[in-house]
Amino acid sequence: MKMKYLVIVVLMILSGCGEAANDIAEGDTAKVRPAQTYSWRMVTTWPKNLPGMGVAPETIANMIRKMSNGRLDIKVYGAGEIVPALEVFEAVSQGAVQMGHGAAYYWKGKIPIAQFFTTVPFGLTAQEMNGWLFHGGGMELWRELYARYNLVPFAAGNTGVQMAGWFNKEINSLEDIKGMKMRIPGLGGEVFNKAGGTAVNLPGGEIFTSLQTGVIDATEWVGPYNDLAFGLHQVAKYYYYPGWQEPGPTLEAIINKDAYDSLPEDLQEILRAAILTVNNDLLAEYTARNNAALRELVDEHGVELRKLPDDVIKALGKISMEMTASIVDEDPLSQKIFKSYTRFRKNVIAYEKISERAYSDARLLVEGGS
C-alpha cells in the first residue's frame, strides 16, 4: 500500500511539472510572438534636415522607433516631398498621412484663432507659452479646437524670441515700411499690412530665391542659427531685432485622431514622451546656437545688426493689440481661447517684472552694460 501511494504522489508531481513546463513554454512563445507594428508617415513644413526645426521631426521619429523597439516606425518627409509645405494640416486631417510637424499660424486662413498656439505679436515668450499650454489650460483648449478637424496636437519645439528680420534698407520710421513686400506669416503679417507694407506668406524653402530675385524686399525667418544656414546674409544687408512678431513660436506635432486612437496605450505614451522631450530640447538647442551664429554673421560676414527704433516698436505694438483682438470671431471656443491667453499673458507679465526682467537688469548692472 505504501508503494502504491508513493507511485501516485510521484505521478502527481510529474504531472504538475509538466503543466508548469507547458505554461513556461506558452509564456516564452508569447514573449517572442511578434507584436503588432505600425508604419506611419510624417510630413513637415520644413526643408529636409534644416538645422533645428528640420531635424526635430527626425529626432521624434528616431526616439519613438527606439523606445517602441520598432513597433511604431515613422518615416519623415520634408516640405514638398509628399505634400506642399502649407498643406500639411489638410493631409493629416484627412488621413492621407498619419502625422505632421509645422506651426499653427500657417493654417490661419482656415482657423484664425489657431495662431495663438504658435505665437502672436508682443505675446508670450517660449517659457511663458509652455507655462500656458501645460499648466494654464492652453493644451486642453488646443485639443478641443483641433478635435474639430480630427487631429490631436502636441507642442513640439520652440525657437525662442526670433529676429525682426532681414532688410535691404534701413528702418528709421514707420514710413520706411510702407510699400515694402516682406515674407512674414501669421498675425505679424496682418500687422505689417496694417502698417502699410505687404505681407507675403512663403514656406522656408522659397525665401532665399524670393529675396534674391526681388519678389520680396525683406524677410523674417527664425534667428541667427537658421538664418545663417539659409545664407540670408548673402541677399540682405541689415539684420533687425527684436522679433516683435514672434516672441516665442511654438511648433506643433499633429496626429490624425483615428491613427492615434488605433495605437495601444503604451505607444500613445511613447509618442507623448518623445514629442515632449523634443519640445524642451529644441529650445535648448536654439539658446545654445544662436549667439555663435550671430557672431559669425556680424564678425565674418559683415552683417549690420540694428535695433528697430522705439517709435516703430510702439506703433507696431499698438496695431498688434488691435489686430490680435480682431481675429476672435463669434465662436465661443475662439473667445474662450482668447480670454485664456490674454489673462495668462497679463498675469505672467506682472510676475516677470520682478523675476526674469528684474534679474536681467541686475545682471547688466553688475556687468556694466545697458
Give the CATH number, domain containing residue 152: 3.40.190.170
What H or E segment, with its residue span, contains residue 235? none
DSSP state of 148: T
> What pLDDT shows up at residue 369?
63
For 209-226, the DSSP string reads HHHHTTS-SEE--S-HHH
Number of domains composing the chain: 2
> What pLDDT shows up at residue 5?
47
Determine, yes or no, domain membership for 9. no
pLDDT tens string, the chain, 370 residues long: the values are 444 544 444 444 445 544 444 444 445 444 444 689 999 999 999 998 899 999 999 999 999 999 999 999 999 999 999 999 999 999 999 999 999 999 999 999 999 999 999 999 999 999 999 999 999 999 999 999 999 999 999 999 999 999 999 999 999 999 999 999 999 999 999 999 999 999 998 998 899 999 999 999 999 999 999 999 999 999 999 999 999 999 999 999 999 999 999 999 999 999 999 999 999 999 999 999 999 999 999 999 999 999 999 999 999 999 999 999 988 988 999 999 999 999 999 999 999 999 999 999 999 999 876 5
pLDDT tens-digit profile of 179-190? 999 999 999 999
Residue 164 contacts residue 220 (beta carbons within 8 Å): yes
> What pLDDT shows up at residue 368?
78
Same-domain pairing of 271 and 172: no
Angle at 245 between CA 333 and CA 100, to 5 degrees: 60
Beta pairing class for 250-256 and 151-158: antiparallel
d(CA 363, CA 370): 10
Same-domain pairing of 130 and 218: no
Same-domain pairing of 129 and 269: yes
Same-domain pairing of 177 and 148: no
Alpha-carbon Rg for the chain, nearest whole angstrom, is 27
What H or E segment, with its residue span, contains residue 72? strand 72-77
The predicted model scores a pTM of 0.88
Same-domain pairing of 351 and 241: yes
- Domain holding 349, by residue range, is 165-246+303-327+334-367
Determine, yes or no, domain membership for 190. yes
Same-domain pairing of 153 and 267: yes
- The widest CA-to-CA distance across the chain, in whole angstroms, is 114
CA-to-CA separations, 91 to 30, 97, 116, 298, 367, in angstroms, rounded: 37, 6, 22, 40, 51
- Long-range residue pairs from 194-202, CB within 8 A, at least 24 positions apart, any chain: 194/319, 194/322, 194/323, 195/315, 195/316, 195/319, 201/86, 201/106
d(CA 90, CA 83): 10
Same-domain pairing of 350 and 224: yes
Per-state percent for the chain, helix, strand, coil, to nearest 5: 55, 15, 30
Rounded to 10 deg, the angle between the 310-326 and 186-194 helix axes is: 110
